[in-house]
Structure formats: C-alpha cells, structure tokens
Homo-oligomer: A and B are copies of this chain.
Amino acid sequence: MNMPVNMPVNMPVAPALSTRGPVLIVGTGLLGTSLALALSAARIEVQLADTSPTSLALARDMGAGRVRTSGDAEPRIVVVATPPDVTAGVVLRELDAHPGAVVTDVASVKDSVAAEVRAHGGDSARRYVGSHPMAGRERSGAVAADSDLFVGRPWVIVGEWADPDSVLRIRNLAVDVGATPVLMTAAEHDAAVAAVSHVPQLLSSLLAARLEELPESALALAGQGLRDTTRIAASDPRLWSAIIVGNAEPVAELLRAVRTDLDLLIEGIAPALLPSAPSERSFPGGADAIIPGAVGAITDVMSRGNTGRARIPGKHGGAPRRYAEVQVLVPDSAGELGRLFSDVGAAGVNIEDFSLEHSPGQRAGLAMLSVLPAAAQGLQEALGAQGWRVVVG
C-alpha cells in the first residue's frame, strides 16, 4: 500500500500532525539525529537520549532537540534508533518507562523485534509499531545527519498487532518528516528487504570478494558493469552482519534459491569444457547446435534476470517506463558537465536518470541521459546544434 505525499521540496511541513506532545528520540546516530532535526524543523518538541554523552551533545549542538531529563514532560511518541542488535531490549524498556507513549523503532528488520515485544505480554504490543524508513547513507553518526533524509522516501510501518491509533500516530510522524508511509505486515517487510536489499548486498560482496586476488592488469579492464555491481560491496560488514543475522530466515531461503540456480548454471556450463573438434566450435550453426546445455542454462538465468530487472519500478514509483537514452561525449574538464546540463535545460528537457561512464586511461566521459522517448529526438538535435557529440540509443 503506497500513499503518496505531495509536498513541495524545501518547504516547511505545516501544520505538523504529531505535535500534541513531545517526541523522545533514543539513539542519536544518523537516523535518530536526522529524524530529530526534521521534527525540530517542523517545530515539534524533541527530547534526546543516548548512552554516549558525546553523541548526545553533538546532536543537541546541531539543533536536533534538548537532552531529556527526569523532570521532563512525558513523550507521546518514543523513537528507538539504536543499533539493530539492541533494539528490541530498548523498545521493551521504553514501553515500560512511558505507559502513555507509542513506541516505534527504525531497525531495518521488523519481525524479530515484533516477536519479542508480543512475547513480553501485557498491553505493550498495542503501543508498539515498527518503522523502517528506507533512508540511509554510506556514512553514519550524528555528524552525517540531515533533516531532509526522509523527504520522499518510503517509510514502512508494521503494526498488525497494534491499536489503530498507535499506527496512525506513527503514520503522522512519517508524514511530518516528508516520508511516504507504506503499510505492510512484519513478515511481508522482512521478505521484501531480504530480496531488494540484503541478498543484493551479499551477492555484491560475493562478487567483489573474487577481485581480492585478481592481477592488477585484469582489474584495469574493469568497466561500468563491474563498478555498478560491486558499489555496495563497500558497505560496513559489522553493521550488515547485525542486519542480516536479524533476518536470517528470509535471507537464507533466497540464498538457497540462488544456489539452486547457480548449481544449474555451473552444471550447464560444464559440458562446454568437454573437448570438441575446433571445426565444430567455430562455424555457422554455432554454439546453440553444439552445447545446448550450456547455452540453455545461461539463456534461462539471463532471461529470468531480464524479467526481474524490468519489474523494478521507475523513480516515481509508477510502472517501469522505458526511457530513451541520449549519450554524449563530455571532455574531462571543469565546467563541461555544467555546460551540458545548461544546454539540456535550455532545450526544456527533464533528465529522468543520469550516469557518467569512464574507463581506465580515458580523458573523456560518456554521459548517459535518460529522457522520455518523445523528448529524445529534440534533445539530440538541440545538443548537436550546440556542438556536442551525441548518439541516440
């Protein structure tokens, strides 16, 4: 369920929906501090808590809110933004400490926390709602915090066991910081992030691990494909271990499915290793006729990959659209990309996606501009008229 929020960027959110009481943020890392900054910017009272006085002081000094003290007003919402391996314990503690509050957490795995809260007994579970704001950065800590971190991002809310009013309170919190609330069950959420986040992370790492021993001369042949597929292999192993251990079952199930496909692929390719007469391998009629097992295995996994890839939604969350790609050679010097985008802007064309491709030794970049198909021809002509080297794909 996807409820889009239409909100102009860079405008204060008003009126805030969750103002009828303070919000206590427990944990002033990247997510906690970003959330506190966003709520403070919306003039919502924020109380801060953290086991690290240094982190707490930093968040306070950044304008995230004031440090909670024992005499403070009771919070209406408590957000637990601690490392994932301690989240459930802190959630239970906060539920007990603030009996009038709805408690949520921002851990990226939801079922295990929910199971512990529900096992805790009492009415606690009715006041617990899980959150997973799909926002993050490659850096961590309060110092990387940003009040715009949640703007336009999905914010998953799980709370099939909770009071409807509790769910509504957290939904309003998400809207107040510019996020798009998405309601799911905890199990649906965990299966989803296993597929769109955890398993991609592990496969990227498995692939990059193969580069550890590769000669430098081989690495020099790396192109954009390798760069893209291994970008997230630079992620923090410690943080991710905690995340993946917390979602072990859905991740292991998917990895086993990958292993099944991988086994079929390896077995399929193996017959190609059998010696065959050179003349059989090299003339028309081709590989299909000679090693149908290998071609079949590769074609099968690649065709399914085509289908899967095509299902990833476009940037606005709608059905996947096929964009036309306009490729432009850009000299590698200051201002050239600026000149390019000025010319694109002057042509009145909106860029749907953009990437810049380089290869070792290259002194020029290949800019790939994705635009609506109807706009490609006009853009090509406009850029050509400005002296750019352009090819429409």
- Give, as a whole number of angstroms, the nearest-CB distance from A267 to chain B: 10
Q: Mark A1-20, 1 if CB is under 8 A from B, else 0.
A: 11011111110000000000
- A229-B200, A337-B351 known; A182-B220 Cβ under 8 A: yes
Is residue A122 contacting chain B, with contact meaning CB distance below 8 A?
Answer: no
Is residue A333 contacting chain B, with contact meaning CB distance below 8 A?
Answer: yes
Is residue A139 contacting chain B, with contact meaning CB distance below 8 A?
Answer: yes
Cβ contacts under 8 Å, A112 to chain B: 281
- Give, as a whole number of angstroms, the nearest-CB distance from A289 to chain B: 9
Q: Is the CB of A206 within 8 A of B305?
A: yes
- A237-B299, A269-B245, A282-B86 known; A134-B228 Cβ under 8 A: no
B-contacting 9-mer, from A52-60, A94-102, A160-168, A249-257: A249-257
- Give, as a whole number of angstroms, the nearest-CB distance from A366 to chain B: 9
Q: Is the CB of B231 within 8 A of A215?
A: no
- Give, as a whole number of angstroms, the nearest-CB distance from A122 to chain B: 15
**Cα A109 to Cα B288 with chains together (Å):** 17
- Nearest residue, chain B, Cβ from A145: B391
Q: List 30 A-B contacts (CB under 8 A).
A: A8-B363, A119-B278, A137-B393, A151-B329, A152-B359, A153-B359, A154-B361, A182-B220, A184-B217, A191-B218, A192-B214, A196-B211, A196-B218, A196-B219, A205-B304, A206-B265, A208-B306, A209-B301, A210-B254, A210-B258, A226-B312, A229-B229, A241-B302, A245-B291, A251-B269, A255-B266, A259-B262, A315-B362, A339-B345, A342-B342
Is residue A21 contacting chain B, with contact meaning CB distance below 8 A?
Answer: no
Q: SS class of chain A's interface: helix, strand, loop or mixed?
A: helix
Cβ contacts under 8 Å, A325 to chain B: 138
* Segment 195-233 of A: residues with Cβ below 8 Å from B: 195-197, 199-212, 214-223, 225-233
Q: Is the CB of A212 within 8 A of B311?
A: yes
Q: Is the CB of B361 within 8 A of A205?
A: no
Is residue A123 contacting chain B, with contact meaning CB distance below 8 A?
Answer: no
Cβ contacts under 8 Å, A228 to chain B: 228-229, 231-232
Cβ contacts under 8 Å, A258 to chain B: 206-207, 210, 262
Q: Is the CB of B273 within 8 A of A249?
A: yes
Is residue A323 contacting chain B, with contact meaning CB distance below 8 A?
Answer: no
Is residue A307 contacting chain B, with contact meaning CB distance below 8 A?
Answer: yes
Q: A144-B391, A146-B391, A191-B218 are in contact. List 14 more A-B contacts (CB 8 A).
A: A146-B327, A180-B360, A192-B218, A199-B207, A206-B262, A208-B309, A209-B301, A228-B228, A237-B306, A245-B272, A255-B265, A317-B359, A338-B341, A353-B358
